[in-house]
Structure 1
Amino acid sequence: MEEMEGPEIKKIARFSSCRGVAFEINPNRINPFAIGSPPKQERIGTWLRLPWTRTSSFKVHSNATISSRSRSSSHFCDIDIDFYDDDDEVEFLAEVEDIEKQEKGNGVKVQKFQPKTDPPSSSRLFIIMLDQGLTVYKQLFLFCLTLNLVALALSAAGHFQYGRKRAALFSIGNILALTLCRSEAALRVVFWFVVKTIGRPFVPLRLKTAATSFLQSIGGIHSGCGVSCIAWLVYSLVLTLKNKDETPVEIIGVAFTILSLILLSTFAAFPLVRHLHHNLFERTHRFAGWMALMLLWLFIILTISYEPSTQSYDLTMTKLVKKQECWFTLAITFLIIIPWLTIRKVPVHVSTPSSHASIIKFEGGVQAGLLGRISPSPLSEWHAFGIISDGNKEHMMLAGAVGDFTKSLITTPPKHLYVRTMHFAGLPYLVNLYQRVLLVATGSGVCVFLSFLLQQPRKVDVFLIWVAKDIELNFGKEMKEMLSKYSKEKVVVHDTAICGRPNVAEMSVEGAIRWNAEVVIVTSNPEGSRNVLRACKRANIPAFGPIWDS
């Protein structure tokens, strides 16, 4: 395969650097891939070799040619931090003019370049709330909420006496359900069980994709039970206030405080607040939840031990163990405590391949598909990352510099970090359900998939499409070497600094068809993931990507 000549490479790199993303200049309008007017190369079908960050060759998709101008990257997984510069724009237009003159001199008919105005893109919040349709997440939310509201309405109408008498129990039951749906220990067991039972070749693909949709969207049950818990607690308080002479004021006060804390936690979890003020959401959710749990124990002890006939308290262990409320609350407490028992302060080695990303290394191998949490201060904040591991002596995390914590890893690399030694399962773990999977990633999102390429033996045949900018410059040689160990026929790396910005959605569909993949799994921002999922849906290819409440 022929390599590009040095001057040609430089020209491509120069006109690919404007505004921090690549531009694609082509005289025809066939396909939105690759660079136009490329130097002569040896083709094999629609696949060709291009230089890896100007030093070596690697397989990239280049099924060329459309005149287009890429807009600034919106992918949170992309490492794209250059800003608009008028001088860059002038340089870009001048180079386009030079290329056109050169081609005209060679007798090539060239269309005049017309800069396009970028279409308005949807905001992350709009995509989250309105632009994803009736997702499985929303269906689970509505199902849980409807089920509870029907039971509540029947209780209020006098047709469900058990609900009327035990309204507080239904509220606590919803808290238990929502805690289970967020318990990393419980979900790790559930994910493992699902993979072991239906992750076999003879199980129908439809069942596997249904299980993936459900497990990925289980947060809908969490949210639905959260709102239902509030409804039952309000109902319980209304009934109590109707008979306030039979209930001491301290019990009513504790119940009102619990309701206030749960309301505060719910409002903090609303997408608008969570999206704009994530640290506020995380701390409010944690500390308000802990306080509500402590007050719940106090509420149970007071209500069980109170004797209306004597208007006094008489607490015995026999009374406690006979009440369902006590056992539900005990289960809630156990589930909340488990992850905190696994916290350890461990030594880490942080390397910085660029000013845009850091690689954090830990001791010990980790199974492919698992994710981990790290923190500089356990009570303050936790950050989840995909884990890269060959399954043997060590594992690592790739952190793009997008927030205060991830930037501090580059400016002041720590020697120790707090970790939760119990890693948790998410969408990447469900790759193990299938036999042939196409993995699509942009920027640092590739880290959740690399373990599947590195670990032996492989139970799943995986294929990878990775789109990022200046790969060796931003991610370092180590990442390049990891990919070089995997079959070149199963990896497509598209460096936007060299090849221009591609249509990732169309690349995903073509890749899935080419490799006969059962399913496509993508890690990108909400808009990028949505585009890939829609394209795959139109092509009748099962596809999954991260949701806002993954």
Structure 2
Amino acid sequence: MVLTDDHECNFIDKIVSSESGTDDIEFDLRDGRKQISADSVANRSNRLSGKEDVEQQSGDDTLPRQRGSSLYRWLRFTALSYYRKLFTLVFTANLIAAVIFLVRYSQTDFDDHIALAQNICAANIFAAILVRNEHVVNLLFLLCAWIPRSAPLWLRDHFARVFHYGGLHSGAGVSGVVWFAIYWALAVKDAALHSWTNTARVIAILVINSTCLIVFIIIPIGAYPKFRMRHHNYFECLHRFLGWTAIVLFWTLLFVSTGSTAQAQGRPYAVCLYKSAAFWLLLLITLLIVYPWTRLRERHVRPEVLSSHAIRLHFDYAPVALCQGIRISTRPLLEWHSFATIPESSADKGFSLIVSKAGDWTSRQIEQKPVRIWIRGAPIYGVLRIATIFNRIVVVATGSGIGPCLSLLSPYEIPCRILWSTRDPMITYGQAIVDEVYRVDPDAVVINARRGVRPDMVLETYKLVKQSNAESVFVVANPPATRELVYGMRSRGICAYGPIWDS
């Protein structure tokens, strides 16, 4: 597909500039076999540079109306997203259980009610951490990827949204805070109604309880989406260090409260601890937290400078599966950054990733050209892994988002079309990346989005879907573009997927 009606030179039309007045810069593509002038390309794309021009095109080049009212679309595609559905499912189940628990407690004052609340709190925290474990996430993706392509599209669409698993994490985490608040209230009431012989122990339990509750409340507040997106480094530190603090406090509370229980029941301390479900759940929680850090390694990396805007980092210590990403850092305790990997085609083990300038940290990597970098945990699957359950797809990428797309498309025989919007693709990412894009899709649409008005990406994506009769669209772009494209496709009845803020 090309963005103009002129078919004199299909190869020239593959790179489309959305700027109407670029400098005359020549790009040497495919080892010099073709050269493209930016001025020439820009002139070819002028008809798509504004909304009025798009509306003047034929019916095949205009977007159909969105389905339903704006309220219906907001409810279905925003308010009731899969992430929120999963969160609501987990939280509602816990809320119902909490109501039953409190009603039963008020009517019968059953024994061990404080221990039960503590156990349910620990169970929710365990579930929240477990669903974030990289091996569990990989298993979820593999299970959903087993759905055959012959299955009904609506069924595959449901399984394809497995990347919303973060809703389970946040639902269980918030539920754990609610149950801990119940546990705290019951412990305070119990301390007020019963005169324990060891007053110092009672005071210690209340102080630890209250401190732990404050920490538990701050953690989900710091993870609120708007705060997390605007202050990601602060969110990461809050989540990590306050999470560790909460677990230490929970352990301390368990040891102290078990001593009170053993004394009240006249049983050995070790027996009470061994028979406590919270003890075993906390042990599992601790192991889940520690495990990724046991795989913390400083790895050698070979930097390949693509331009002043991007760098490609090559690793050779291990192979990675298709569509997996890794977390890298220069300060392991303070910040981590996730990147999709590209398996090396010429080696049994090894992979690379593309770092594009998008902030202070990425800019430093491009300037400093690191030769060693920290990696933690195991590689983890991303959104594109689920694309294999579809027969035909359209992949839309912006900037370095083309990296994970190539990770998927290079080895798989999936009929696909590629739409890539980036600034100066040849200058920014180099010959090899551009060649690989055209190897996967000889008719790929590459938009040179430098400055000025850009083409309607929703329209261009829709045209590719109709031309290729694709079943779904996968978007790897910045958050605003991803939301716009996914919403634009789904509101017109087309399956579309893209990373969410909690992917």
Structure-2 separation of matches of 1:312 and 1:250:
21
Pairwise CA distance, 1:484: 3.5
Instruction: Provide closer, same or farther for how the CA distance between residues 526 and 406 of structure 1 changes in structure 2, counting only shifts above 3 A.
Output: closer
Q: Which of these residues, 170, 190, 209, is aligned with residue 255 of structure 1? A: 209
SS at match of 1:306: helix
Q: In 2, Cα distance between the equivalents of 1:411 and 1:313?
A: 64
Aligned pair in 2 of structure 1 residues 415, 525: CA closer, same or farther (>3 Å)?
Answer: closer
Q: Which amino acid aligns with 1:288?
A: L
Aligned 8 A contact 2:19 2:449 in 1: no
Provide structure 1 residue ranges, at least 5 long, that are not aligned to the other structure: 7-11, 19-50, 71-127
Runs (4+) of structure 1 exceeding 6 A deviation are: 55-58, 128-131
1:99-498 aligned at under 5 Å gives the runs: 132-158=78-104, 164-165=113-114, 166-196=116-146, 198=147, 200-213=148-161, 215-244=162-191, 245-246=195-196, 248-307=202-261, 309=263, 314-316=268-270, 318-363=271-316, 364-390=318-344, 392=347, 393-420=349-376, 422-455=378-411, 458-489=412-443, 491-497=444-450
Is the CA contact 1:389–1:454 (under 8 Å) kept in the aligned structure 2?
Answer: no
Inter-CA distance 313–387: structure 2 relative to 1 (3 Å threshold): same
Note the alpha carbon deviations across 1:82-117, whole angstroms, 9 max, x for none. Answer: xxxxxxxxxxxxxxxxxxxxxxxxxxxxxxxxxxxx
Give identity over the alignment, percent. Answer: 28
Amino acid corresponding to residue 380 of structure 1 in structure 2: L
Per-residue CA deviations over 1:147-179 (Å, capped at 9, x if unaligned) read 222221222222796894411111111101111
Question: How many residues are paired up?
Answer: 451
Q: Distance in 1 between matches of 2:230 and 2:451?
A: 34
Gaps of 5+ in 2: 1-6, 24-33, 53-73
- 1:103 paired residue number: none
Q: CA offset at residue 55 of structure 1?
A: 8.5
What amino acid is aligned across from residue 121 of structure 2 in structure 1? S
Offset of 1:406 from its aligned partner?
0.7
* Distance across 2 between alignment mates of 1:293 and 1:497: 49
RMSD: 3.6
Q: TM-score, normalised by structure 1?
A: 0.74
Q: Contact between 1:437 and 1:462, CA under 8 Å: does it hold in 2? A: yes
Instruction: Please list the CA deviations of residues 441-488 of structure 1 after superposition, one character each: whole Å capped at 9, or x if unmatched.
Output: 111111111112322xx2533331111121111112221132243240
CA contact (8 A) 1:52 1:495 kept: no
Structure 1 segment 6-17 matched on structure 2, within 5 A: 15-17=20-22
Question: Could you give the per-residue CA deviations for residues 510-535 of structure 1, whole angstroms, max 9, x where no partner exists?
Answer: 11121122211112233322322233
The answer as to whether partners of 1:390 and 1:454 remain within 8 angstroms in 2 is no
Q: 1:467 to 1:369 in 2, by over 3 A?
A: same
Say if 1:369 and 1:431, in contact at 8 Å, map to a contact too.
no
Which AA in structure 2 matches 1:189?
L
Distance 1:13 1:218, change over 3 A: closer
Higher helix share: 2
TM (norm. structure 2) is 0.80
1:437 CA displacement: 1.9
Q: Is the 8 A contact 2:19 2:453 kept in 1?
A: no
Whole-Å Cα distance in 2 between the matches of residues 217 and 308 of structure 1? 43
Is the alpha carbon distance of 1:514 and 1:366 closer, same or farther for their aligned partners in structure 2, counting shifts above 3 Å? same
Structure 1 470/155 Cα, relative in aligned 2: closer, same or farther at 3 Å? Answer: same
Name the CA shift for 1:367/1:499 in 2 (closer, same or farther; >3 Å): farther
Give me the whole-angstrom Cα distance separating, in 2, the residues matched to 1:504 and 1:282.
32
Match of 1:120 in 2: none
